Chain A
Amino acid sequence: MAETTVHHFAPWAGRYSQDIDWNLKPPASPNLAALVSTTARAYARQQAFTCVMPNGMYGNLSFEETDRLSDDFAVYLREVLGIGPGKRVAVQMPNSLVTPVVVFGILKAGCVLVNVNPLCDAGEMQRQFKDSGAEALVICDLFTDKLADILPDTPVRDVLVASVSSLFPPLVRHVIQGIMRWWNRVVPPVAFGATRLEHALADGRRIREGRNVEVRQYWAGIAHGDLALLQYSAGTTGVAKGAMLSHGNLLWNVEQIAAMGRAGIVDGKEVVLTALPLYHIFAFTTNLLAFFRVGARNILVPDPRPIRKLQRAFENYPITWISGVNTMYGALLHEEWFNVYPPRHLKAAIGGGAPMHPAIVRRWERLTNSRLLEGYGLTETSPLVCFQLVNGPPKTESIGIPAPRTEVRLLDEHGRPTAQGMPGELVVRGPQVMHGYWKLPHETAQVLRDGWLHTGDIAVMDEDFSFRIVDRKNDLITVSGLSVYPNEIEEVLSSHEKVMEAAVIGVPSAKTGEAVHAYVIKRDQSLDEAELERHCRRHLAVYKLPARFVFCDALPKSAVGKVLRRELRRQAMLERSRPAAAGAAPARNKPAKERA
């Protein structure tokens, strides 16, 4: 591809440092199992995974051990459970040594992995098991109680139960399990037939050695186009859809991540803190796959809440990279131990999942003397699309530039590219874009058109060809034909000192098409509507002013903490449909109080 052409459709490629090549070499491995196996041979004796408990207790797995144990698990799946290639196997674990072993084992068996959030409620679990057709499930012993009722009505035939401390040294494992079972009493009794993962691995090993099973045979025929992972994502509609990510999608994204981070990565020398859950696509691809691929040691933290639980992990290991979300970095910055002893070996931190707050980025970079690089991605793109340059100039409120081989366009409402500096829907094409939603051709067609994934995020390209996310398309409010971005209004509301938190939605209005409604949690009870309105008038154009303020005690949030604007909209619609309900008429001049 001629240089000029690249710069025509990927003008940002000119900003790549010499470590990044737009013509990124295709992944050498034919599939993820091969990637695991070759990487494990290259770094055999080095530690690959270390799981750290809040009090500092730990368990290690070397690359070699990870490889061998995942072979054992693959054999167990194929030979004992008789699960064939392409069949789905679900994993519902917090970060632990079990995760890499079973995830790699499933891929080596030629099966399709289904990542399930352990915090899902029983109904959501059932939906995902049924939808994916998962035949086996690896679940953490802390969550088996949710399974008992729904299990008969799912395709899951075999359940394997593991603990966070499984695969730890025996004495440590027994102590941790004893404390969890008898002292904390967080381990419910298992009310159905299940196998302990430890037994499954022992069985797998016995068969593998006894019958001389060549695990390689399981995955020898798997190619880039084959499905590797069903990753469920709530998306904007609220019903979880399984994004189909192939071996090729994930292998390419691993190469893209490694390329974007290359300037700060020395193969076999990095130590990455994995406090984000591996069942989420962000840490799954970044930490479990990409950092594994470069021979890094993953420091796995089962649960980073409260944030103090990260203290021993920071103290005991020379962490060079971290992946995290805005609130996690914010929380760390408020910890005294972190401020007194910031990590000394840190090269860079990766921020994603939600927009990073500029103040947090600046404080983080000052304290740790290293970059906090914001990235952008979606479940549907394996996830990385854009990332800030490791050696680029610091820039906040920016998602950086697209990864190699990733084409990004911004389109207006008519599907035409917008001028530079103008907002438009971000669409993306590249080898990391999913094959579609599992069994949902209609939904797939809505977002995937001619190979372009329509993200629903509104972005702007700056003069330096880096991108900025402005808002979500679905949350966009149109007042009298003018676009109103809820983020902007929420920021203005939150900047008032008496406001703790605010969320803004559009509600149908006869007069203006849509009207802005603001939901506000007070920090100071003396705050009233008039004061808030005066504040908004000072900072916002007239058409952006909220037509209604609702003071509430809480905002509806997703299981992991994002404000659910769609839930607020649903409630607002319900309220409207209720005839003569107290709050139905816009209470413009009366302070309205209700629980959201």
Chain B
Amino acid sequence: MLSEVETELLSVMMVVIMAGMGASLTFKDFAIALRRPQGMLVGLVCQYGIMPLLAFLLAETLGLSPGLSIGLILMGCMPGGTTSNMFTYFSRGVLPLSILMTLCSTLAAVVMVPATLELYSSDIGGHWHIPLTNAVQVVALLLVPTLLGMGLRKLNANAGALVELVGAVGGACVIVFLIASWVPRNWHLLLDTGADVYAASVGLGMLGFLLGYLLARALNQDRNTSRTIALETGIQNSPLAALIALLSFPGPEQQEVLLIPILYSLFIVLGATLATLWFRRLAEREEIARDNARFEMMADLA
């Protein structure tokens, strides 16, 4: 995984990004998102219902070794990652909902992560050491800069918009950095890894997107909300998974447990980038079509 310095750097970048995301929002945006809490509930169901089960079924179907299975299930039981907010922003999804879902799933993680891990990994074994303070840390890292950004926007819309721009550029840089730094560090994994591990690492995220979207649609969420939930579902907090693996498996099995979280973190960035580009086009098209279809044409002037 990343070195100490890089992790620190990434945390700082996430603060900048979240301030930028916050600066794109107003308190009214959150109030509107909170008016329909169904979206958040659907998100929670996806996060702790679908994803752990999906990870478990993938491990079973692919017949992974216990070490790999543990890694995969661990990944599946994680709360939503902060990067999902950034991808939602770029894909023109419902950003307040995404931030609220990340908050909810991170808070719920205190109970849900141990519970789901216990449920799905008890057969395989393993003694989990879950750092509860991490949840507090993630929440703080998410909430404080977001609120700062929102406050700044309220104070001065121009300053807010500039911070938003800095956050967006920072976000794009982080995506590039995550991909670019991953490859030289772990490229040997790409060559040595078998098809089943690939299937598990790629499948967890991509099937997460798909199932999250389908479930949201089935529960009457509109397309844009469903895409937001899809991104939130598929993108897991992989640094937390790595941290738990390091703490819980100090022995020689550590490398095996870490393999899938490491591969996942590469493919989720690639997958989410592609999904974002696609979702963005869909969102733009829907918005124009909605304006046109409902109201024939914008201007009655001629």
Contacts and interface: CB of A to CB of B under 8 A. Distances in A.
- Bind each other: yes
A508 interface: no
A308 B287 contact: yes
A282 interface: yes
A328 B296 CA distance: 10
A: contact size bracket: 35 or more
Nearest to A305: B298
Interface string A295-331: 0000000001111100010011000000001111011
A277 B296 CA distance: 18
B297 A172 contact: no
Interface string A557-568: 111111000000
A57 B297 contact: no
B296 A331 contact: no
A466 to B, nearest CB: 21
B299 A353 contact: yes
Interface in A385-432: none
A55 interface: yes
Interface stretch (B26-34, B53-61, B126-134): B26-34
B299 A327 contact: yes
B111 interface: no
Contacts, number: 107
Contacts of A179: 165
Interface string B189-201: 0000000000000
Contacts of B153: 56
A171 B28 CA distance: 27
Contacts of A276: 299, 301
A328 B288 CA distance: 14
A331 B295 contact: yes
Interface stretch (A258-266, A336-344, A478-486, A580-588): A336-344
Contacts of A336: 32
Given A315-B28, A340-B32, A327 B302 contact: no
Contacts of A327: 295-300
A557 B287 CA distance: 20
A306 B288 CA distance: 6
B298 A562 contact: no
B24 A55 contact: yes
B295 A55 contact: no
A330 B294 contact: yes
Contacts of A56: 153, 157-158, 160-161
A330 B295 CA distance: 7
Interface string B270-302: 000000000000000001101101111111111
B92 to A, nearest CB: 10
Interface string B12-28: 00000000000010101
Contact of A304 (B28, B162, B298, B300): B298
B35 A354 contact: no
B298 A307 contact: yes
A55 B164 contact: yes
B142 to A, nearest CB: 22
A179 B142 CA distance: 27
A557 B158 contact: no
B151 to A, nearest CB: 14
Contacts of A325: 299-301
Interface residues of B, number: 29
A325 B298 CA distance: 8
B150 to A, nearest CB: 12
Given A312-B157, A560-B302, A175 B296 contact: no
A559 B301 CA distance: 9
B295 A560 contact: no
Interface secondary structure of B, over-half rule: helix
A331 B28 contact: no
Contact of B165 (A175, A304, A305, A559): A175
Interface string B154-173: 00011011101100000000
A135 interface: no
A57 B157 contact: yes
B299 A337 contact: no
B161 A55 contact: yes
Contacts of A234: 302
A378 B108 CA distance: 62
B157 A560 contact: no
A337 B28 contact: yes
Interface in B233-286: none
A49 to B, nearest CB: 16
Contacts of B165: 175, 179
Interface centre among B164, B287, B298, B301 (most CB of A within 10 A): B301
Contact of A561 (B35, B290, B297): B297
A334 interface: yes
A557 B301 CA distance: 11
Nearest to B26: A315
Nearest to A324: B300
A280 B158 contact: no
Given A57-B161, A58-B158, A316-B157, A334 B302 contact: no
Contacts of B287: 306, 308
Interface centre among A179, A327, A341, A500 (most CB of B within 10 A): A327
A340 B26 CA distance: 14
Interface in A525-580: 557-562
B291 A562 contact: no
B24 to A, nearest CB: 7
Interface of A: 53, 55-58, 169, 171-172, 175, 179, 234, 276-277, 280, 282, 304-308, 312, 315-316, 325-328, 330-331, 334, 336-337, 340-341, 353-354, 500-501, 557-562
26 contacts: A55-B161, A55-B164, A56-B157, A57-B158, A57-B161, A172-B158, A175-B165, A234-B302, A304-B298, A305-B288, A305-B291, A306-B288, A307-B298, A315-B26, A327-B295, A327-B298, A328-B299, A330-B295, A334-B294, A340-B32, A354-B300, A560-B300, A561-B298, A561-B300, A561-B301, A562-B301
Interface of B: 24, 26, 28-29, 31-32, 35, 153, 157-158, 160-162, 164-165, 287-288, 290-291, 293-302
Given A55-B164, A306-B288, A307-B291, 5 more contacts: A327-B296, A331-B291, A331-B298, A353-B300, A500-B293
Give me the 9 closest cross-chain CB pairs, A-B, nearest first. A561-B297, A354-B300, A562-B302, A325-B300, A56-B157, A560-B299, A558-B302, A327-B295, A353-B300
